[in-house]
């Protein structure tokens, strides 16, 4: 018995040595036979015993999955049971912890049934239009001497001839095929008794399961555990050659298939399973190639272009045999292939591509076209990273009356100093040989440097030159007015009351039309005997009004300020003066009124949006009696809140109280003490207004999100257009139609 953990440590040690000595880091995982592997491990451990650490440090080797050398099931289970779990799972300092199982998945397979023994010499078969029942009796009963039960009558006539005698073991598959073609099944039951039933009754028969190790005779259900391929993928491979009824269950959790079929069908399907259920990592070669000069993603793109065919499909050409994966964290390319020579050849290509054609000492002018950002901002960031003085901008200065001139050639010579500004852009130097100028008109950067230095700068620029995140700010500014209006008074009418020669009727303190109760509210009506209304006492109270002041929407870049102002400019007198000639001069200024909203969003990677909100509402007030100037009522709020993308935040608390009292009635009579109230109406009003602000940010990170918002706005405008096309009576149901 060999310690499995010891073998794993030795292989891991050998792999590390090979990776350090081989610059291409090619590791082959080819299989080897067990005796040769054990001898090699013994020699290796003996040679390395003097250099490997001893004690507890030596015992805590890395636990590597046993995938490089296959052990038999008996040896594996014995080795795992004899090895303590703590030793098998002990990691290196700072390493991971691997818990190695028995790879059985907890599946208990059915016990294998004893093989069916058929004695006797080979036999010749000759049937001509014989009834199927006679053929069953002749083969199963007379020739093979088996017990059988015919549960359902079988119909059909059989013609079967063999030119030479055939072994008795082949008679059962022939009999099973004859029955299946005539709608019947041959099922092996307990004690080797066979049952003949119609095919449609297989779902109501007593279930019987076998394992692949069992010699199959007749129709049965077989449990097929899979080791290296998923059950779903294996079922997809079998579906073109197996009927749908053959798949009793595809168990992805336990990674097994339950197949139902005859002996010949199951044997064929098991052959296909054995072909595809293989260890794909066994014999696979892996190479790790660091990228030192170029960009790992660029080299990866060029390698894929070489491996793939002209139609650029993944599984066509050499790309089906070689997988190349970029590892940006290590700035390396990982090459995987079942052929070690492919890994070495691709590694040679990577080495050739990871070079700079132009000499590193040759200086030339490079132009970087900014794709998403701003050239001046990128230049400022580069200066902060590489420039001297903590990122403080330095501008070149010349003597008064002189002009700054710069000359150069493709050979790399240039005048000392910094390259001048281009189209109003900023410029600075990253060193003695690197200069950067921002061209604001063309939104590009001019980099005067060697190819090697420019490649480093270009990597940084590509990471900084990304699409800016935008935020759609949807705001609703609502004014809630809580009114407490109380209107009370007496309205009355008289008839035939002005002299005896005049007939007519009139009313006092009547707003319009005939007097009557005001609805809704409280009313008390006085009538005469004829039913004419003489007087009405009204009392009406109204509460709560809602006024949507504005619902603006604005799109703004992340970390930029959006400002919305809706209203009018109110003229006010700011200054008045009199000249020496006695002419009066008045200066007029305009004050902004209405709604003003300023929002600055800041989006983080977690989807949280921080909003700096500044909101003000300015209303035109009454004229001040002292100054005779118009007063203004202003309510403002400033806050900084955090809200999730798509959620709403409410800002409130801006409350204004206004109380007033008014009186109206019949002139002169309403001013009479005590009785004047009978001829007047008093109105007491108390208005309490609160301003509420609802803000909803929506983060737009891609062009698709932006197009979605544009389509939504168009839909809203289309709805307004359709609404304006409606007749006036439909848009305003209360309007009168002549």
Q: Is the predicted pLDDT of residue 379 greater than 50, yes or no?
A: yes
The predicted structure's pLDDT at residue 516? 47
**Model confidence at 45, in pLDDT bands (50, 70, 90)?**
very low
Average pLDDT over residues 368-390: 79
Tell me the pLDDT band of 333, cut-offs 50, 70 and 90.
very high
3-state secondary structure of 28: strand
Q: Using CB atoms within 10 Å of the CB of residue 657, give its burial: 0 to 12 exposed, 13 to 18 middle, 19+ buried.
A: exposed
Residue 375 confidence (pLDDT) above 70: yes
Residue 734 has pLDDT above 50, yes or no: no
* The pLDDT of residue 218: 72
Tell me: pLDDT of 409 over 50: no
Residues 381, 384, 387, 389, Cα dihedral to 10°: 150
User: In the predicted model, what is the mean pLDDT of residues 459-479?
Assistant: 85
From CA 6, how far away is CA 8, in angstroms rounded? Answer: 5
| Choice among 153-167, 453-467, 482-496, 560-574 with the minimum mean pLDDT | 482-496
Percent with pLDDT over 90 in the chain: 3
What's the pLDDT band for 281 if we cut at 50, 70, 90?
confident
How confident is the model at residue 538, as a pLDDT?
52
Per-residue confidence (pLDDT) for residue 693, from 0 to 100: 80
**Between 149 and 558, where is the model more confident?**
558
pLDDT at position 8 is 57
Report how far residue 217's alpha carbon sits from residue 215's, in angstroms, rounded to the nearest whole number: 7
Report field, pTM of the whole predicted structure over 0.75: no
**Helix/strand/coil for 607:** coil
Q: Which of 200-214, 267-281, 604-618, 646-660 has the weakest average pLDDT?
A: 200-214
Q: Which of 12-26, 79-93, 145-159, 201-215 has the highest mean pLDDT?
A: 145-159
Average pLDDT over residues 189-203: 71
pLDDT recorded at residue 246: 84
The distance from CA 553 to its chain's CA centroid, rounded to whole angstroms, is: 26
pLDDT at residue 531, as a whole number:
46
| CB of 351 closer than 8 Å to CB of 332 | no
User: For residue 143, what is the DSSP state?
Assistant: I
Average pLDDT for 453-464: 84
d(CA 88, CA 101): 11
Three-state secondary-structure class, residue 553: strand
> Picking from 373-377, 412-416, 621-625, which range would have the lowest pLDDT averaged per residue?
412-416
Residue bearing the bigger pLDDT, 318 or 532: 318
| 8 Å CB contact between 610 and 640 | yes
Which of 150-159, 289-298, 608-617 bottoms out in mean pLDDT, i.e. has the lowest? 150-159
**pLDDT > 80? residue 323:** yes
Window from 17-31, 181-195, 441-455 with minimum mean pLDDT: 17-31
Query: What b/e readout covers 48-66, taking b as 16+ CB neighbours within 10 angstroms?
Result: eeeeeeeeeeeebbbbbeb
Mean pLDDT of 353-381: 80
pLDDT at 601: 92
108-148: pLDDT as tens digits: 666 666 667 777 788 888 888 888 888 888 888 888 878 77
Query: Which positions ≥6 away from 34 have C-beta within 8 Å?
Result: 69, 71
Q: Which residue has the tokens 């006024």?
A: 547
Q: Among 648, 657, 641, which Cα is nearest to 600's?
A: 641
Q: pLDDT band at residue 489, thresholds of 50, 70 and 90?
A: low
Flag whether pLDDT at 50 surpasses 50: no
Query: Between 67 and 94, whose confidence is greater?
Result: 94
Quote the pLDDT of residue 33. Answer: 38
**Does the pLDDT at position 697 exceed 80?**
yes
Beta-carbon contacts of 156 under 8 Å, excluding residues fewer than 6 positions away, are 131, 132, 182
For residue 383, the model assigns a pLDDT of: 80
Q: State how far Cα 49 lies from the chain centre.
A: 52
DSSP β-ladder status, 157-161 and 584-592: unpaired
Question: Max CA-CA distance within the chain?
Answer: 149
- What is the per-residue pLDDT for 219? 77
Strand partners, 636: 616
Whole-angstrom distance, CA of residue 644 vs CA of residue 471: 12
591 phi-psi bin (left φ>0, alpha ψ -120 to 50, beta other)? beta
Confidence at residue 111, expressed as pLDDT on a 0 to 100 scale: 66
% of the chain exceeding 70 in pLDDT: 61
Per-residue pLDDT band at 59 (split at 50, 70, 90): very low
Task: Kindly report the average pLDDT of the chain as a whole number.
Answer: 69
């Amino acid at each position: 018995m060999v310690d499995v953990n010891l073998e794993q440590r030795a292989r891991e040690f050998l792999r590390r040595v090979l990776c350090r000595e081989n610059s291409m880091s090619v590791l082959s995982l080819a299989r080897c036979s067990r005796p040769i592997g054990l001898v090699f491990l013994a020699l290796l451990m003996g040679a390395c015993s003097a250099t490997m650490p001893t004690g507890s440090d030596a015992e805590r080797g890395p636990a590597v999955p046993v995938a490089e050398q296959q052990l038999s099931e008996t040896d594996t289970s014995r080795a795992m049971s004899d090895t303590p779990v703590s030793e098998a799972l002990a990691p290196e300092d700072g390493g991971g912890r691997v818990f190695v199982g028995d790879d059985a998945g907890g599946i208990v397979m059915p016990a294998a049934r004893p093989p069916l023994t058929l004695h006797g010499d080979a036999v010749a078969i000759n049937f001509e239009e014989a009834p199927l029942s006679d053929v069953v009796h002749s083969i199963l009963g007379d020739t093979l001497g088996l017990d059988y039960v015919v549960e359902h009558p079988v119909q059909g006539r059989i013609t079967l001839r063999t030119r030479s005698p055939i072994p008795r073991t082949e008679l059962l598959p022939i009999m099973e095929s004859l029955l299946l073609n005539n709608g019947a099944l041959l099922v092996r039951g307990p004690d080797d008794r066979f049952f003949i039933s119609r095919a449609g009754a297989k779902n109501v028969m007593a279930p019987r399961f076998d394992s692949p190790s069992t010699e199959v005779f007749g129709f049965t259900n077989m449990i097929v555990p899979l080791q290296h391929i998923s059950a779903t993928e294996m079922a997809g491979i079998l579906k073109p050659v197996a009927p749908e009824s053959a798949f009793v269950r595809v168990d992805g959790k336990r990674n097994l298939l339950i197949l139902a079929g005859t002996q010949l069908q199951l044997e064929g399907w098991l052959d296909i399973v054995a072909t595809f259920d293989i260890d794909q990592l066994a014999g696979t070669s892996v190479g790790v190639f660091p990228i030192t000069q170029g960009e790992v993603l660029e080299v990866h793109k060029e390698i894929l272009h070489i491996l793939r065919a002209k139609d650029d499909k993944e599984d066509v050409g050499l790309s089906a045999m070689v997988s190349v994966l970029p590892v940006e964290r290590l700035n390396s390319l990982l090459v995987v292939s079942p052929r070690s020579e492919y890994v070495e050849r691709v590694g040679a290509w990577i080495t050739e591509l990871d070079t700079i054609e132009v000499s590193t000492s040759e200086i030339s002018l490079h132009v970087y076209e900014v794709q998403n950002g701003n050239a001046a901002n990128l230049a400022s960031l580069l200066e902060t990273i590489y420039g001297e003085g903590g990122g403080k901008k330095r501008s070149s200065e010349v003597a008064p009356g002189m002009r700054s001139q710069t000359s150069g050639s493709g050979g790399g010579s240039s005048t000392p100093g910094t390259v001048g500004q281009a189209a109003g852009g900023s410029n600075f130097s990253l060193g003695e040989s690197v200069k950067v100028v921002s061209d604001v008109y063309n939104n590009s950067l001019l980099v005067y440097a060697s190819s090697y230095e420019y490649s480093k700068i270009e990597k940084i620029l590509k990471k900084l030159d990304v699409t800016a995140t935008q935020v759609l700010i949807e705001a609703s500014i609502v004014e809630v007015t809580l009114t407490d209006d109380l209107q009370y008074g007496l309205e009355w009418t008289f008839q035939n009351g002005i002299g005896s020669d005049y007939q007519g009727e009139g009313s006092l303190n009547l707003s319009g039309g005939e007097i009557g109760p005001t609805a809704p509210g409280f009313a008390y009506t006085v009538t005469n005997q004829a039913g004419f209304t003489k007087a009405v006492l009204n009392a009406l109270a109204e509460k709560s009004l809602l006024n949507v002041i504005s619902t603006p929407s604005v799109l703004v870049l992340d970390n930029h300020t959006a400002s919305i102002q809706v209203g009018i400019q109110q003229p006010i007198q700011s200054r008045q003066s009199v000249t020496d000639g006695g002419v009066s001069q008045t200066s007029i200024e305009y004050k902004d009124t209405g709604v003003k909203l300023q929002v600055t969003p800041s989006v983080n990677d977690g989807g949280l949006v921080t909003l700096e909100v500044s909101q003000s509402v300015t209303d035109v007030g009454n004229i001040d009696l002292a100054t005779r100037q118009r007063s203004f009522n202003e309510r403002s709020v400033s806050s900084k809140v955090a809200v999730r993308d798509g959620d709403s935040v409410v800002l409130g608390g801006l409350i204004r109280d206004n109380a007033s009292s008014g009186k109206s009635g019949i002139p002169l009579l309403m001013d009479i003490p005590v009785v004047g109230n009978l001829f007047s109406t008093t109105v007491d009003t108390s208005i309490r207004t609160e301003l509420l602000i609802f803000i909803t940010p929506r983060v737009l990170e891609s062009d698709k999100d932006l197009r979605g918002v544009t389509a939504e706005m168009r839909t809203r405008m289309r709805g307004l257009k359709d609404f304006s096309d409606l007749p006036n009576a439909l848009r305003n149901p209360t309007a009168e139609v002549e």
